[in-house]
Amino acid sequence: MALIKEVKTFAALGVGVIGAGWIARALAHGLDVNAWDPAPGAEAQLRASVANAWPALERVGLAPGASQDRLRFMDTIEACVADADFIQESAPERLELKLALHASISAAAKPEAIIASSTSGLLPSEFYASATHPQRCVVGHPFNPVYLLPLVEVLGGQETSPEAIETAMHIYTQLGMKPLRVRKEVPGFIADRLLEALWREALHLVNDGVATTGEIDDAIRYGAGIRWAFMGTFQIYTLAGGDAGMRHFMHQFGPALKLPWTKLEAPELTDELIEKVVAGTSEQMNGHSIKAMERYRNDCIINVLDAIEKTKQQHGLAGA
């Protein structure tokens, strides 16, 4: 059975931060979008989230026909997915919930429609176990804000066909994303495993009184975070080895890996630690609302992406 490769109708189930991000991206690319979420007030919250994202999307550039008016909020799962060419689920990270949800989604969807989950770590072989036509079911794990950040991790379960993986990556590319093929089913995939390690260490530093949340964020945004915007860890460390490159770096700094700098396991989330984190991040907000900070973040992301692309072109590295 041939899978649909050109999407006209995009279905989104779950309209929290991630689901709303998918919807904003799909609308900005000129698609019709069906949305469903059982939570009270979900439609109003969704439309407010899309409206808040729209100025950033206008700045990036809307596809012909792109409009917030092409969003339809549905009463049932079946109505949401019935005419969809591509389906993206962004429900809470609970295996039992996703298992039941995908049994319903896949039974009501067109057999040739790709079904994807935004899960950040659950394994597709497990939550697609009861799906109809599981060969077309994949994971498409994005990053917030979904409507601006291009990375999406793509992987399949034991029943997923290679064609479904290729088709999903093609569709995500059409949505302006950078699909990254995850080669094996592993909890947390690639990016979140790296981020989780950093998050654990940050919590230890707060818990041990070494640094505040603001100081830790400054350590990232004025240091490694600037480099990470245009080079990954391995490439950065290759340059740190000088003209001899990575081999010299590994020999020079490799012994430090044996030193007890990091703790790896997360600290216990005591009430005291939670209060420290909440107080610190509240101070960092400096009285600004979440929506206002989202708009600031969006402008920063667009400026950084524009600057990187312009610099790549200057150095003849376009597409790198």
**Domain spans, the chain:** 9-181, 191-287
* Geometric angle at alpha carbon 53, from 114 and 152, rounded to 5°: 35
Contact yes or no for 44/66 (Cβ under 8 A): no
Give me the pLDDT at residue 232, please.
93
Question: Phi then psi for 71, rounded to 5 degrees?
Answer: -90, 125
Beta bridge partners of 115: 87, 137
Q: Nearest Cα to 189, choosing from 122, 138, 98?
A: 122
Mean pLDDT of the chain: 96
Tokens of 4: 């649909």
Report whether pLDDT(320) > 80.
no
How many angstroms separate the CA atoms of 119 and 104, rounded? 17
Reported as a pLDDT band with limits 50, 70 and 90, residue 264 is confident
pLDDT at 239 > cutoff 80: yes
Predicted pLDDT at 1: 73
* 68, pLDDT greater than 90: yes
Report whether pLDDT(218) > 80.
yes
Give the 3-state DSSP-derived string for 180-209, with helices as H, strands as E and coil as C.
Answer: EECCCCCCCCCHHHHHHHHHHHHHHHHHCC
- CATH level 2 (architecture), domain 9-181: 3-Layer(aba) Sandwich (3.40)
Q: What is the pLDDT of residue 97?
A: 98
The pLDDT value given to residue 318: 78
Identify the three-state secondary structure at position 10. strand
**Mean pLDDT to the nearest integer, 255-275:** 92
Contact 88, 171 (CB under 8 A): no
Average pLDDT of span 144-153: 98
pTM: 0.92
- Average of per-residue pLDDT across 85-113: 98
Domain made up of 191-287: CATH architecture: Orthogonal Bundle (1.10)
